[in-house]
Structure 1
Amino acid sequence: MTFLPRRYLRAPRSPLHHHSRLPNLCLAVVVFFLLDAYWIVINLPHPVRTITPPYSAIDSSSLTSNQHEPLSLPGQNSPSMRRVGREGDQESLLSSDIGNEETFQGFTPQIGNPNNETIFVAAIFRRSEIMLRQNWSPALISLVQHLGPQNVYVSIIESGSWDGTKAALMDLDGMLNEAGVERTIELGMDREAQLEELKHVPAEGHDRTGWLFTGRKESESGWEMRRIPYLARLRNRAMEPLLRVWDEGRGRKFDKILWINDVVFTTTDVTTLLATNNNSYAAACSLDFSHPSQYYDTFALRDSSGRKTSSLSWPYFYSSQSLNALKRNEPVPVKSCWNGMVIFDGKPWYPSSSKEQGIDNSQNNNFKGLKFRGVADSLAQKHVEGSECCLIHADNPLRESKGIYVNPNVRVAYRRDTYEKVLYQSGWRHL
């Protein structure tokens, strides 16, 4: 009889044995595929955005449950008399007490218009009555009084509202008239007419630029109007008075172009934004918040390397250049932004030669001026979309020479209570 060594009599090791290599191999394969799937997801293009119908960035109807009193705005009362609240017994945190450096973490907000610059203010509204009456209109009147009515032109486009937005804008028109401000306020179609417009798909063989065939059941024909080109057309309409005033023989040009969303803001926010980077920029943006801990406009904001932000919460950016500037509370270099409020250098909005714009482009000697746009329909059909508020920076000839910045000391919000929290919290610790 032959006896084998004991090790040869041992039963085969189970694949699930803790010393087996199979579980480790399986785990590695699973981790690999999970990481690969994650990488694919974060790099997916934005879905096609169509209009059914075109809403503003924030639905102002959500403000109806937040019935606050109007903001205490700079210039309305002396600093010692600025109050907020129903009883008026609490000093307003929204006053322009610029001497309180501790509140601003050592940063002193800028006031005044030292260069006596002229400013073209533009906005588009839809269903924003509450925001207009409680915050936006009083803030705008305070701003034009501070900058000087002779230095400001206001252009507003409204479309598709079914609340009291049109009436609120008519009231604002009267206020601006009393203040002696030049303005154009265009009240568009009502909601029913706008919905009918969206159903009128151009006939086959006609120009269907700005329309996509999605095949969705929501559309009878399967064709839908793209949201971004529609908004771009509205914004371009709001900019038309800029060239009209210039072309009418007066030759009036504006130094700055200021776009303001339906946000809560004050005069100090605007004057501080104007002074960004010692008043040298192609564009400068605020930070906008829908909630105290999260910024809102993810579609337009790209850091200095052109990447989307890493998170909605501080410190937001991947790029070390953007991140370090944010930590120092300095103007943050970015590739694009909008974020509730943005100021542009006015020069690129006027037709001129490439040389006058400071760009070297022998194939485009005559620059026709900046216009809002969307990406081509052929790209959108492949689920590639870009915000008109982002593309305007890509087209700006001053972007390389003067730069685009986010001013982290200017924070606006889509609700008053959010504005109070993001503006005066201690630094960024709670953001």
Structure 2
Amino acid sequence: MAMKRSFRTLFQLLTLVAVVLFLAVSLGHSQYGSGLLPVNPVDSRDAKSPAEEAQYAYSTRFPLLKESNETLAATAPSYLHAIMDPEDKTYPRLECPFPNPDRYASLKGPSRSKLPRYFFALDLHQCVGLLPRLIGSIVEAIKFLGPENCVLSIVEGRSDDGTFEVLKELRTEIQILGSRYILQTSDINPKIEGTDRIIALAELRNLAVNDLIQYPDNYDPKTTVVFSNDIAVCLEDILELVYQRVFQKADMTCAMDWTYVGDNPTFYDIWIARDMHGDSFFDIPESGSWDLAWNLFPNDDEAKWHLMKSEPFQVFSCWNGITAFTAKPLMEGKIKFRGHYEGECFQGEPKLFAKDMWYHGYGKIAVVPSVNVEYNNEAGKRIKTLKGYTSANVGEDLKIKWETEPPKLVKCMAHGYVDQQFLPWDEGLPG
């Protein structure tokens, strides 16, 4: 009888183990679709405190991504290594100096809330060759600022050169660092005939910052957004923009971006940027000629003076390849990227973003001319050689004397350069 009871006990124990194993496997499979990434991946680190657990818990749901191209995916590991290792020479990239750590030391360390306070946002398409420099510099910034302080959000669209495959593989590396990584894919194409290009671009930008809009409680109230175009950028460029935003108590800081249409570089973001007289950074006649591009700020002597000395100065609007701005109006639901309202000048979504910033009391917008960027590695090297690396341009830090009121009139270039006119800065806004 004792032997029968022993066998019965053993059988019950084995049955219980089998049931537990079955439930574990079932629950494990429930996180995955066939061949898909987990919708809610679990952080593998042990939580040390409720605050730390909340910090690393995923408030953002990883969306289901498109399928990778197997051939392109095979090349992703070499790009990934180049991104994660600044010394990797597999692919050509703009060479960058390491910044002075003492200058940017104040940017490090956890926030009082223990929540992330740096949000890196990008919309990327067909730029795999730029990723080692662009994403590599952002990864360096994440490491410098503290991975627990940073979130990386990327929207990839329609690439067939391996951009998506590399960004998909990047997820594991960012998670290992200890940062959150939000990767989305989108089929929105601003260049399709019949599409409102500005609305499409605004939708893509809103996707990139959507987590801030939807889940503001998961971020520090003083979060800075670093939003970058597909540029060749150095770690010191990123840190200087963030540093000047904090030092100047600015709402937004922008670089100077350039393009080589000939032997000499031309300021690029002319359609978006406006000085504190509401004027474009250089004059363009109705013919559309850029022959006057050499004469920056022809009607703003103060801006011209600060530009020559590589000192930050206030503007009405800018973007200029890369910008650092306060996330507060996004998190408060006051503004988003948008197209123009009815009866409002047709203009780019970054200019409308700056206009809405002014309207809601965030008008401390500045250009940081010590930071100069271009849109590919080779041209990036040329512009750094000509204008100087950021560290070489930085001098004594001087405070901007902020103007609290925007210019009454701002230049509108709605349909090319033929129809240019100065209109009220708040044209089309409510009230």
Q: Compute the TM-score of the two structures, normalised by the length of structure 1.
A: 0.60
Find the counterpart in structure 2 of residue 19 from structure 1.
Answer: none
Alignment of structure 1 residues 331-350 onto 2, 5 Å: 331-350=312-331
Query: Which of 377, 383, 386 lines up with 1:422 in the alignment?
Result: 383
Once the 2 structures are TM-superposed, how far is the Cα of residue 328 of structure 1 from its aligned partner?
A: 2.5
- Out of 316-325 and 154-163, give the one that drifted further: 316-325
User: How far apart are the structure 2 equivalents of 1:129 and 1:95?
Assistant: 22
Find the counterpart in structure 2 of residue 269 from structure 1.
Answer: 237
Once the 2 structures are TM-superposed, how far is the Cα of residue 346 of structure 1 from its aligned partner?
A: 2.4
Find the counterpart in structure 1 of residue 162 from structure 2.
Answer: 164
Q: Compute the TM-score of the two structures, normalised by the length of structure 2.
A: 0.60
Distance change >3 Å, CA 252–CA 408, structure 1 → 2:
closer
Once the 2 structures are TM-superposed, how far is the Cα of residue 174 of structure 1 from its aligned partner?
A: 2.6
Find the counterpart in structure 2 of residue 290 from structure 1.
Answer: 259
Structure 1 gaps of 5+ residues are 1-68, 100-108, 199-218, 352-367
Find the counterpart in structure 1 of residue 105 from structure 2.
Answer: 112
Alignment of structure 1 residues 306-385 onto 2, 5 Å: 306-310=278-282, 311-313=292-294, 315-351=296-332, 368-376=333-341, 384-385=345-346
Quote the sequence identity (%): 22
SS at match of 1:406: strand
Distance change >3 Å, CA 256–CA 372, structure 1 → 2:
same
User: How far apart are the structure 1 equivalents of 2:334 and 2:179?
Assistant: 25
User: How far apart are the structure 2 equivalents of 1:167 and 1:76?
Assistant: 18
SS at match of 1:396: helix
Distance change >3 Å, CA 75–CA 411, structure 1 → 2:
farther
Once the 2 structures are TM-superposed, how far is the Cα of residue 96 of structure 1 from its aligned partner?
A: 2.1
Compare relative contact order (CA 8 Å, sep 6+) and give the higher one, 1 or 2.
1
Aligned residue identity for 2:269: D
User: How far apart are the structure 1 equivalents of 2:152 and 2:84?
Assistant: 19
Distance change >3 Å, CA 274–CA 378, structure 1 → 2:
same
* Structure 1 residue 281 corresponds to structure 2 residue 250: yes
Once the 2 structures are TM-superposed, how far is the Cα of residue 127 of structure 1 from its aligned partner?
A: 1.4
Once the 2 structures are TM-superposed, how far is the Cα of residue 188 of structure 1 from its aligned partner?
A: 2.3
* Structure 1 residue 257 corresponds to structure 2 residue 225: yes
Find the counterpart in structure 1 of residue 37 from structure 2.
Answer: none
- How well do the aligned residues superpose, as a CA RMSD in angstroms? 3.5
User: How far apart are the structure 1 equivalents of 2:88 and 2:160?
Assistant: 33
Aligned residue identity for 1:341: I
Aligned residue identity for 1:119: Y
Aligned residue identity for 1:138: G
SS at match of 1:297: coil
Distance change >3 Å, CA 120–CA 317, structure 1 → 2:
farther
User: How far apart are the structure 1 equivalents of 2:330 and 2:164?
Assistant: 28
Aligned residue identity for 2:329: P
Find the counterpart in structure 2 of residue 227 from structure 1.
Answer: 197
Find the counterpart in structure 1 of residue 98 from structure 2.
Answer: 96
Find the counterpart in structure 1 of residue 401 from structure 2.
Answer: none
Check the 8 A contact 1:113/1:147 in 2, yes or no: no
Larger Rg: 1
Distance change >3 Å, CA 404–CA 170, structure 1 → 2:
same
User: How far apart are the structure 2 equivalents of 1:236 and 1:416?
Assistant: 27
SS at match of 2:209: helix
Distance change >3 Å, CA 166–CA 410, structure 1 → 2:
same
Aligned residue identity for 2:364: G
Distance change >3 Å, CA 114–CA 161, structure 1 → 2:
closer
Once the 2 structures are TM-superposed, how far is the Cα of residue 327 of structure 1 from its aligned partner?
A: 2.1
Once the 2 structures are TM-superposed, how far is the Cα of residue 276 of structure 1 from its aligned partner?
A: 1.6
Check the 8 A contact 1:120/1:254 in 2, yes or no: no
Find the counterpart in structure 2 of residue 408 from structure 1.
Answer: 369
Structure 2 gaps of 5+ residues are 1-77, 112-116, 283-291, 390-431
Aligned residue identity for 1:260: S
Give the paired residue count: 292
Find the counterpart in structure 2 of residue 394 from structure 1.
Answer: 355
Once the 2 structures are TM-superposed, how far is the Cα of residue 370 of structure 1 from its aligned partner?
A: 1.8
SS at match of 1:425: helix
User: How far apart are the structure 2 equivalents of 1:427 and 1:412?
Assistant: 10
Aligned residue identity for 1:405: A
User: How far apart are the structure 2 equivalents of 1:419 and 1:176?
Assistant: 26
SS at match of 1:225: coil
Check the 8 A contact 2:99/2:235 in 1, yes or no: no
